[in-house]
Amino acid sequence: MAREQSQPRPGNSPTRVVKQIAQYQDGRLELQDVPMASAPPGGVLVRTTHSVISVGTEKMKVEQARMNLLQKARARPDQVRKVLETARNLGWRSAIEKVRNRLESPTPLGYSAAGVVVQVDPANTRFRIGDRVACAGAECAFHAEYIGLPDLLATPVPANVEDWQAAYTTLCAIALQAVRQTEPQLGDRVLVMGQGLVGLLVTNLLQASGTRVMAVDVQEWKRSYCDAMGAEKVVISSRSNLIDEVRAWSEGYGVDAVIVCTSTQSNSPIEQAAEALRDRGRMVVVGNTKVDLTWKVFYGKEIEVRYSRSYGPGRYDPAYEWGGQDYPVGYIRWSEQRNFQACLHLMASRRINLEAITTRRVKFSDALSVYQDLAGESARDIGVVLDYEPSEKPPAPLKETPASAHSFPAAGRISKAADWIDVIGAGNFARTMLLPHLHGWIVFGTVVNQTSLSANHVKTKFAFIDAATDASVAFGDKGAPAVLIATRHHLHAPLVLNALQAGRHVFVEKPLCLTREELQQIDAAVAKSKGSVQVGFNRRFAPATAELKRVLGSSPGPKSATYRVMPGKLDPSHWYANYAESGGRVLGEGCHFLDYFCFLFSSKPVRVFAQTTWPATGRTPFPDSVTAQVEFADGSSGQLIYSAEGDPGFPKETITVFGAGIVAEMTNFQELVIHRNRKKEKFSYASKGHAEQMQAWAEFLRGSREHPLPYEQARASMLLTFAVLESIQQARAVDVR
């Protein structure tokens, strides 16, 4: 169980330590106290409830660790080559030191586990605290009390799958990928060589797919396990002639495919498999087995040989596993993550017989005794599940961002007019909704766009003085005193910081930034800069908003508002579907509507409860629909319903506000209906506030008015947006801080 260090270090809080199995290259195994893992960027921290010892793989690692140096060299010639290469390049002293360091360094064991999410990184919106998950990866899903995993190496566990079963998910996915590589047809005869844990799971999955299976192993005691997993025919090759058995079972043709799940440096399994295959059969290699292909046999039968790589597409791809970049389902139907999901579905439907192959369940604290038993010649374990005791104390939440310690400049008038601006990012939105409303109010200096052709087009269309593709020109000595930023979202914060450091007045389209850390950096920059920041929250500038605000001013007490947004389904090919660029819809678009509540009530948001209303899987890896209930300091409340589902004929944005003696209804900022004194007033408008906001900013730059949207107000709206995301992740009400 997790525990605190008894002696805190001076000046620091006690380090949280947990137990983890460590293996040394001299053969030692220890259950060590190690610092608790943390959720990686975009990932989760999981309290482990169960993990599975992969008997074949882990027994091999332990046995290799106990070998002497000569035996290690024979077992791992690839490592010997690396040492020789180091010696050639750096000398023998460096090579020996490298070997010594390797032998002294502990390595983790384990790669298939399950547990409960206890922390969620702010960049992850797929998981919430309390979610049960299956965990994968030799780089993270260790035999340890707490493990930190990237998003795509964790998978939600269905309600009717027990935690100990879910711990098998990674191993099942290895078997499932082997079956997918085999591409069996209904009624095919497939031979599975090697009936260890993975081999037995392969047998089970083939049987579940309607394939006839011959299970082959050298050990008689595995026969009963083969029968339990659905083998039609079991052959103990140490007692029977395998080829004669295959000939009889396949009516003389040979088997359609062989899946090799053995682990040996003998080529005998490959030779037997080739002989057992029919003409133009398929061989799939799963285990760490020597493979020498005899030309005459493989050419004569035109045998197709495939390797099955671990859990499926995505394995060993850092952009997938650690960067969270999933593959489009139209191109890669069964990725690593989708293989995990398929395995859990099979468990839920009771089509994988895990009970039959689970030979032991052991307390995690007693795990070292299991490895001692596996080293014995009489060991007969197949699947060993480690049970973890509940944590004595839950981990501390992810580090909270303290309230800003900075004091921001007063939002007054500027002393020196900024009579020209530069523009960074002039895509369709800027060309349609921003630049036309600034044109004529202020001189346009340099336009910066991604490509030369588009930059030159915007220069000509809006009479800019110059065009460029490098944003740094806007921050140099010759840059304009003000800059408009309308790039994709992930560039907003870096560009705002550069502009503030250069003393520029900034207009940046929403959102201001994508993380709390970026907001902190902008806080510091605003406090020190001679410039200013205005965020593109245009709806507070709409004419309909001005009238609504005026009317609500006559209604005392707190108000309640419902803001319903129906933007439609997000096209997976749109850049908004790239989370790294957009931050997702909640952050990229939801901030608009949350800011509107802050402006409408003129009160500070204090607490929010939010949830997704559509699964954050499938078309996009983050929520497409969300509801949020926001509590304000003056007692007002705002409910945001942002839904990608519904009838396209319904208005995109509708707002209903309830106050003392008044009800107001607004539709698309075009129609405002006021219900008051049993009478109804209607108002019509034609703007969502883009033109009015641009005009207000231009007047501020000319020195004729105060700042139209002080930084503190935009900052409060961003804090509320981050709180919404955290509430989704943590499945609870969150204070806005």
Q: Is 606 helix (H, G, I), strand (E, B) or coil?
A: strand
Q: Per-residue pLDDT for 334 more than 70?
A: yes
Fold classified for 420-532: Rossmann fold (3.40.50)
- Give how far Cα 648 sits from Cα of 567, 592, 622, 665, Å: 9, 21, 22, 20
Instruction: Evaluate the omega torsion of the peptide bond into residue 651 and state whether it is cis, within 30 degrees of 0.
Output: no
Q: Would you kindly state where each structural domain of the chain is located, as residue ranges?
A: 16-168+319-387, 178-308, 420-532, 539-735
**Do the domains 420-532 and 178-308 match in fold?**
yes
Place of tokens 């460096």: 94
Q: Could you tell me the pTM of the whole model?
A: 0.69
DSSP assignment letter at 125? -
Q: Is 532 helix (H, G, I), strand (E, B) or coil?
A: strand
pLDDT of residue 498: 95
Question: Is beta strand 605-612 parallel, antiparallel or unpaired with respect to 734-735?
Answer: antiparallel
Determine contact, residues 38/148, Cβ cutoff 8 Å: yes
Tokens read off for 643: 């839904």
Fold classified for 539-735: Dihydrodipicolinate Reductase; domain 2 (3.30.360)
16-168+319-387 sits in which CATH class?
alpha beta
Tokens read off for 567: 């933007």
Tokens read off for 520: 């902190």
Q: Is 699 helix (H, G, I), strand (E, B) or coil?
A: helix
Q: Per-residue pLDDT for 403 more than 70?
A: no
Q: How many residues does the chain have?
A: 737
Architecture of domain 178-308: 3-Layer(aba) Sandwich (3.40)
- Mean pLDDT calculated for residue range 641-647: 90
H or E segment to which residue 18 belongs:
strand 16-23
- Give how far Cα 466 sits from Cα of 108, 462, 501, Å: 58, 11, 23
pLDDT of residue 178: 98
Q: Is the model more confident about 319 or about 562?
A: 562
CB-facing half-sphere around the CA of 459: CA atoms within 13 A: 16
Q: Which amino acid is at 542?
A: A
- Band (pLDDT 50/70/90 cuts) for residue 8 is very low
Q: In whole angstroms, what is the distance from residue 18 CA to residue 205 CA?
A: 36
* Neighbour tally for 515: CB within 10 Å: 16
pLDDT of residue 271: 94
Q: Which amino acid is at 539?
A: R
- Closest by Cα among 671, 597, 664, 668 to 637: 597
Angle between helices 543-552 and 590-601 (to 10 degrees): 40
pLDDT digits (tens, 9 = 90+) for 144-193: 999 999 999 999 999 999 999 999 999 999 999 999 999 999 999 999 99
Rounded to the nearest 5 degrees, what angle is found at the Cα of 696, between the Cα atoms of 690 and 701? 125
Tokens read off for 314: 């995505």
Q: Per-residue pLDDT for 694 more than 60?
A: yes
H or E segment to which residue 724 belongs:
helix 711-730
- Closest by Cα among 402, 403, 690, 429 to 582: 429
Q: What is the largest CA-CA distance in the chain?
A: 97
Question: How far is C-alpha 181 from the chain's CA centre?
Answer: 26
Q: In whole angstroms, what is the distance from residue 40 CA to residue 318 CA?
A: 13
- Mean pLDDT calculated for residue range 504-510: 96
pLDDT digits (tens, 9 = 90+) for 285-317: 998 889 999 899 999 999 999 999 999 999 999
- Band (pLDDT 50/70/90 cuts) for residue 545 is very high
Q: In whole angstroms, what is the distance from residue 562 CA to residue 103 CA?
A: 63
Place of tokens 């006690």: 14
pLDDT of residue 387: 97
Rounded to the nearest 5 degrees, what angle is found at the Cα of 430, between the Cα atoms of 424 and 434? 110
Beta bridge partner(s), residue 306: 284
Q: In whole angstroms, what is the distance from residue 270 CA to residue 290 CA?
A: 8
Determine contact, residues 303/274, Cβ cutoff 8 Å: yes
Phi-psi region of 499 (alpha: psi -120 to 50; beta: other; left: phi over 0): alpha
- Mean pLDDT calculated for residue range 519-524: 95
Place of tokens 């309607």: 210
Q: Per-residue pLDDT for 2 more than 60?
A: no
Beta bridge partner(s), residue 561: 638, 657
Determine contact, residues 483/424, Cβ cutoff 8 Å: yes
User: Long-range contacts for 314-323 (Cβ within 8 Å, ≥24 apart)?
Assistant: 314/152, 320/152, 321/137, 321/139, 321/150, 321/152, 321/153, 322/40, 322/150, 323/42
pLDDT of residue 7: 36
Question: How far is C-alpha 276 from the chain's CA centre?
Answer: 44
Q: Per-residue pLDDT for 45 more than 90?
A: yes
Q: Per-residue pLDDT for 401 more than 50?
A: no
Span of 10-14, 200-204, 517-521 with lowest mean pLDDT: 10-14
Burial 354-386 (b: 16+ CB within 10 A, else e): bebbbeeebebeebeebbeebeeeeeebbbbbb
Q: Is 470 helix (H, G, I), strand (E, B) or coil?
A: coil
| Alpha-carbon torsion, ordered 84, 88, 89, 93, to 10 deg | 80
Q: Which amino acid is at 75?
A: A
